[in-house]
């Protein structure tokens, strides 16, 4: 299973990158996790937010691997427990699906893009800074993976 994260962000803080790198290293080759950073649109030009999000959505669509199952991270998305996420990821792993997770910019993701996704997940009821959301996502994916192999990282 390949898991791609497409994130619209400026370079994240070193502490967050270190955490992401540490979790990324823990995945085995058959659970390959890659992160592609896309630069957000310039917000200083006075363009309306919907136009900015539409431009960002074009770049996101171009970066999505062909045939991937696309899931947007959004505050209105579905809540998952670690075990439920593990079960879902295991199903996709067993069917050799490619998963692509989208993290939007400061204003989120374009509504049209979200409607085209096969799912929407929420990481938290809280508003999170981008760097923390990325760390939380990668940790959640690693935790789900560890559950699928019976690794003691996750405890009940």
- Read off the pLDDT of residues 32-52 as tens digits, 9 standing for 90 and up: 899 999 999 998 878 899 999
- Per-residue confidence (pLDDT) for residue 15, from 0 to 100: 97
- Report how many domains make up the chain: 1
Give the integer Cα–Cα distance in Å for 21 and 88: 24
In a domain, residue 156? The reply is: no
Domain of residue 112: give its range.
2-148
Q: Which single residue is written with the structure tokens 């929407």?
A: 120
CATH number, position 7: 3.40.1280.10
Beta partners for 32? Answer: 2
pLDDT number for residue 71? 97
CA distance 36 to 86: 23
Residue stretches of the chain with pLDDT short of 70: none
Reported as a single tens digit per residue, the pLDDT across 125-147 is 888 889 999 999 999 999 999 99
Please indicate if the annotation marks 124 as binding a ligand. Answer: yes
Find out whether 148 is annotated in a ligand binding site: no
Please state, in angstroms and rounded to a whole number, the distance separating the CA atoms of residues 106 and 43.
10
Burial 33-57 (b: 16+ CB within 10 A, else e): bebebbebbeeeeeeeeeebbbebb
47 within domain boundaries? yes
| 49 found inside a domain | yes
Q: What is the pLDDT of residue 40?
A: 95
CA dihedral 117, 123, 91, 100 (to 10 degrees): 40
Residue 46: per-residue pLDDT: 85
Question: Is 132 annotated to bind ligand?
Answer: no
Instruction: Judge whether 127 is annotated as a binding position.
Output: yes
Please report whether residue 155 resides in a domain. Answer: no
What is the rounded distance in angstroms from the CA atom of residue 148 to the CA atom of residue 111? 33
- 123 known member of a binding site: yes
**Residue 101 labelled as part of a binding site:** no
Residue 154 lies in a domain: no
């Amino acid at each position: 299973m390949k898991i791609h994260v497409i994130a619209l962000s400026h370079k994240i803080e070193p502490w967050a990158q270190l955490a992401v790198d540490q979790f990324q290293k823990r995945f085995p080759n058959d659970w390959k996790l890659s992160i592609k950073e896309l630069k957000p649109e310039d917000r200083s030009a006075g363009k309306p937010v919907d136009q900015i999000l539409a431009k960002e959505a074009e770049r996101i669509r171009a970066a999505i691997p062909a045939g991937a199952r696309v899931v947007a991270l959004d505050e209105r998305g579905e809540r998952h427990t670690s075990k439920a996420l593990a079960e879902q990821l295991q199903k996709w792993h067993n069917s050799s699906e490619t998963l692509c997770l989208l993290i939007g910019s400061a204003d989120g993701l374009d509504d049209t893009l979200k409607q085209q996704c096969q799912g929407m997940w929420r990481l938290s009821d809280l508003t999170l800074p981008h760097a923390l959301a990325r760390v939380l996502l990668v940790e959640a994916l690693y935790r789900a993976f560890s559950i699928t192999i019976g690794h003691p990282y996750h405890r009940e």
